[in-house]
Structure 1
């Protein structure tokens, strides 16, 4: 995604500068914090549609890498800093921040916005005590994206519902390091929403869990060791060099350049790997559900990047107008008109998956099936005291998982063993949870 991001970032900078100039003489300026993912960048490029309809509202953008965005918006809202009028936040933050009274309810968005059209799994994750606290811009699970040509060359077929054993065999068969083709690309960059999102979801399929019923950490159990060992074996044998620094955007770029046989990551990436403008393998990509291990749980997550309004903003009405525009059916139609149906924000509305044109998109059905197969209320094989598939929905999780992610990334970089990483994860999680009173 090197060309996509560089072009998009230039566009975002131009929009930010023009937004600052545009603010003069207008009654309200919205400062919007967002992530540098492709769908968000595309949205920035289409905001002339919004400003034409709302000439009294100017837009200023703060576009940040995922880990940095999370840090900035969390610091700002917890300190009531007031830097932003609209924040791009995820399914982890919404229920916690909503309960804290940090977010504005969106229950009063216009009737034509049609809240009932939001997919139940996505809407439920953004609702607290009947109040919708964020509007989903796009929803996602995770799935396998793979090179059909390389599978055919290897004389193999990818099942629609593969096991981790299937993934290992395919990764081995597709790896050709002399040609700089690596059988599998997975997140290695440290971060609770980077490598730990992937590894937590993966661990669910191996019967692992973060905590038992008494909130005792479980990194010293066999299931986590099997998870991390499987991950390390895949990456060390069939992954690209420098994988410990690769997150979503880095792996997207590798896949688009034809350097990955498989990539297990967010379903939203499907439109980018199949876009011939950006991907050299656009016509060669197949899709499958995230792998399982025969225990009844797949290694896929459930997430939505959503737009929310911090409590205390002096631009609440303008912010609601923007959010209603950016997450509407009309915005979906605008993207379809400008960029094609394959590039509309996925995973939020039932009506999208009922649309005959969208049903022709090759990854539409697999995306919906992946979203529907994730259950945040029962994320693990065993019963646990928490909700959340690739995260634990408690305030302490982000800090703890960031530290754990650093240990696991260090192991992937060869700086410590699997056993050392797990022991450190167990110790630091235990310490933090006891300090928090669990």
Structure 2
């Protein structure tokens, strides 16, 4: 055998070994918010531990993410190996057989450490079908300096009447300070989520016990009128285009007296690297209207694995890492304890380092624990869910209703016209779905 032949055989063997060692690629679809972007930045720690797995990130705006992952999983398109999905999708998709069961996670993952309400929302018949990256409710974040200057003392548990008074007192449009910032961008997870939660506290319901839409009720009329008044008189210009990310930027720039939104935002508005008002932020529970229900929701952005992926084992390895106690410690080491993804584990709220660093921690936990998806509003309802209705049709209906809400906020139609349109389109879809005759 010549030297050349031996060299060729050696090269062939090395190529074969390289092929065997070729990394498996996971395509991960995620939302473009701060915690998810941080996960992407820190994921080199995962690939160093698992050189056999490469990560390909697809980062999308919330409404776009929902549309694309829904289309892909429903058609079994196979574009993604890991999906960022929410508490609404998980049980519905699991019942359709679209998600991989996560009932074989490693023992050190400690499933029992997950907050009970968050875990329950991601399970079907006790089996987990997604793992929570962060959990949230909603609350009021407010400027303590503006409140003090206006002579306002914030209660821990404000009413909507108080919010109206505080918004008026803190608004200074000449200096581009707006009394209250709230979601206005159309989308079932954007303005529809916020307005539904607000309406719950007014006693409004999406449906009565016979699945009849209720947008023609007095409770909806009052809640939606108050929402429009707050946005139009004390909100930022162009609020019909503002969702979570846009309002976050406004608050961080010092342009909002109050921001009523997800508890997860607390670490963003108190981070001095990003927020100009980091040392001037106070927190209060989501408002109520004296009827025994607050306008706070329950949600988790979670990681799930679509059934049929050809990288199931690698995907399970990744989702377990990204939602583990060890990942929380990695974030704390690099960004500080206050920036650890909140709302998922009991142990986090028993950690003195976290409680000391995050002065919003106890209110976040209180808000999550107080949220009751089984009884979201004052009167009985046939559905589960607070800021959404846990039926497959809701994604389409909620988006269409959100477009009506946004049109009213933009001045394209009256409150009455928007609610009537919401009533009519919801009635039509519920008849088509067989819920009502």
Q: TM-score range by the shorter chain?
A: over 0.9
Q: Shift in Å at residue 26 of structure 1?
A: 2.5
CA distance in 2, matches of 1:96, 1:223: 29
Q: Secondary structure at the match of 1:394?
A: coil
Determine the structure 2 residue equivalent to 1:105. Answer: 101
Q: Secondary structure at the match of 1:282?
A: coil
Determine the structure 2 residue equivalent to 1:417. Answer: 414
CA distance in 2, matches of 1:427, 1:262: 34
CA distance in 1, matches of 2:398, 2:317: 35
Determine the structure 2 residue equivalent to 1:408. Answer: 405
Q: Which has the larger radius of gyration?
A: 2
Query: Is it true that 1:78 corresponds to 2:74 in the alignment?
Result: yes
The Cα offsets for residues 322-353 of structure 1, whole Å up to 9 and x where unpaired, read as 00100000000000010001100000000000
Determine the structure 1 residue equivalent to 2:11. Answer: none
Matches within 5 A, 1:226-237: 226-237=222-233
Residues 188 and 246, structure 1, Cα contact 8 Å, conserved in 2: yes
Q: Secondary structure at the match of 1:59?
A: strand
Determine the structure 2 residue equivalent to 1:30. Answer: 26
Q: Secondary structure at the match of 2:142?
A: strand
The Cα offsets for residues 47-100 of structure 1, whole Å up to 9 and x where unpaired, read as 111001100000000000000000000000000000000000000000000111
Residues 26 and 55, structure 1, Cα contact 8 Å, conserved in 2: no
Q: Shift in Å at residue 303 of structure 1?
A: 0.1
CA distance in 2, matches of 1:217, 1:194: 20
Residues 28 and 57, structure 1, Cα contact 8 Å, conserved in 2: yes
Residues 188 and 195, structure 1, Cα contact 8 Å, conserved in 2: yes
The number of residues matched between the two structures is: 417
CA distance in 2, matches of 1:140, 1:274: 17
Where does structure 2 lack aligned partners over 5 or more consecutive residues?
Answer: 1-18
Matches within 5 A, 1:14-163: 26-163=22-159
Q: Secondary structure at the match of 2:179?
A: coil
Q: Shift in Å at residue 27 of structure 1?
A: 3.4
Determine the structure 2 residue equivalent to 1:390. Answer: 387
Q: Shift in Å at residue 235 of structure 1?
A: 0.7
Q: Secondary structure at the match of 1:136?
A: strand
CA distance in 2, matches of 1:404, 1:197: 11
Residues 26 and 58, structure 1, Cα contact 8 Å, conserved in 2: no
1:331 alignment partner, one of 322, 327, 330: 327
The Cα offsets for residues 27-59 of structure 1, whole Å up to 9 and x where unpaired, read as 311000000010000000001110011000000
Q: Shift in Å at residue 130 of structure 1?
A: 1.6
CA distance in 2, matches of 1:274, 1:225: 35
Determine the structure 1 residue equivalent to 2:258. Answer: 262
Matches within 5 A, 1:182-201: 182-201=178-197
RMSD: 1.1
Residues 141 and 258, structure 2, Cα contact 8 Å, conserved in 1: yes
1:378 alignment partner, one of 365, 369, 375: 375
The Cα offsets for residues 127-186 of structure 1, whole Å up to 9 and x where unpaired, read as 001210000000000000000000000011110000000100000000000000000000
The TM-score normalised by the length of structure 2 is: 0.95
CA distance in 2, matches of 1:243, 1:167: 18
Q: Secondary structure at the match of 2:196?
A: helix
CA distance in 2, matches of 1:230, 1:380: 18
Query: Is it true that 1:165 corresponds to 2:161 in the alignment?
Result: yes
Determine the structure 1 residue equivalent to 2:426. Answer: 429
Q: Shift in Å at residue 24 of structure 1?
A: 11
